[in-house]
A = this chain, B = another copy of it.
Amino acid sequence: MPQEGQGLVLALDVGGTDIKVALQDAAGGFHGLRRLPTPLDPYRPGDVIVERVAGLVREYRDQAGGSPIRSIGLVVPGLVDEDAGVGILSANLGWRSYPFSRMVQEATGLPVAFGHDVGMAGDAEMRLGAGRGLRDVVVIIIGTGIAGALFCDGRRVLGGGFAGEIGHAPVPGGLQCACGATGCLETLASAGAIARRYTEASGRPVAGAAEVLAAAGAGDKDARSVWNEGVEALAVALSQMVAVLGSEAVILGGGLSQAGSALLEPLGQRVDSLLSFHRRPRLLRSVLGQDAGLMGAGLRARDLLAEPR
């Protein structure tokens, strides 16, 4: 049974397919971590999430063995207005301008910390992970798509909920994107794009970008070309951000970052070659990994307990 300490919080990370949920204790430890399918309802896309959250609060109250759950940390994807507690838009899950904070608070009676999944993952990475002690950082998460969180002068940039869309900024050679724009970074440099583009070029299906990297290492020309184009696009995008923001570090997370030095070394060299008098960013790997969003949700939920009510 978890130790109560300053009390338990319930952390939830709502994704496109799964909800991750766990109790978090005062030391940051997770208890009862589970994944459940994200409930979908085209007519009540926000309400079904709130109902699931309320159900989970009841379940975890029982599990907590008498220790009260004192607050909820909830993070969701899409465009999010954290100050207002509103999910502005999720193309995948379907909500528009849904007041998550208020609805979850009404359904559970608990204080709610609400935020953007990647933004709060970035917060956690800055507080407890690779960004500790840094102020000017680009956090970039490269998986099926590409998302990010920008930290300037020690604060995350919100931009009315629109900031951090690194994957949907134009790069040279970028292709038609599912978002409707042309040229988006994630059409060349996401793990999903690298796998897809390799299959298109070679006719060979692959399970993911790791296979493309392995094939490139074994001398496969198509694999090399697709991998190198991804790295080049990332290098240009990162150089642009560093040049205008003065970032001291770039933290890479998500599936593609598991390539380690096979990604970070050529990427770092190319970023370096695109800069001159600018601040030179260190390239770092995420420390918290897949659970960073859940960790961020829990940390923020705990912050609520420390704030004067």
Interface residues of A (CB under 8 A from B): 79, 89, 91, 135-136, 148, 150, 152-153, 155, 157-166, 168-170, 172, 177, 179-183, 236-237, 239-241, 243-248, 274-279
Contact = CB atoms under 8 A, between A and B. Distances in A.
A243 B275 contact: no
A180 B245 contact: no
Nearest to A169: B243
A150 B237 CA distance: 17
Contact of A152 (B159, B243, B279): B159
Given A153-B159, A160-B136, A162-B279, A243 B274 contact: no
Q: Copies of this chain, how many?
A: 2
Contact of A244 (B136, B163, B177, B180): B163
Contact of A170 (B161, B182, B240, B246): B240
A170 B241 contact: no
Contacts of A245: 150, 157, 159, 163
Contacts of A236: 170
Contact of A243 (B91, B136, B161, B168): B168
A279 B275 CA distance: 28
Given A91-B277, A157-B246, A160-B246, 16 more contacts: A150-B244, A152-B158, A158-B246, A159-B247, A160-B279, A163-B244, A164-B244, A165-B243, A165-B244, A166-B244, A169-B239, A169-B244, A170-B243, A177-B276, A181-B276, A237-B240
Contacts of A170: 236, 239-240, 243, 274
Contacts of A181: 274-276
A204 B212 CA distance: 51
A89 B181 CA distance: 39
A80 to B, nearest CB: 11
Contacts of A169: 239-240, 243-244
Contacts of A246: 157-165
Contacts of A150: 152, 244-245
A158 B160 CA distance: 20
B159 A274 contact: no
Nearest to A277: B179
A276 B245 CA distance: 23
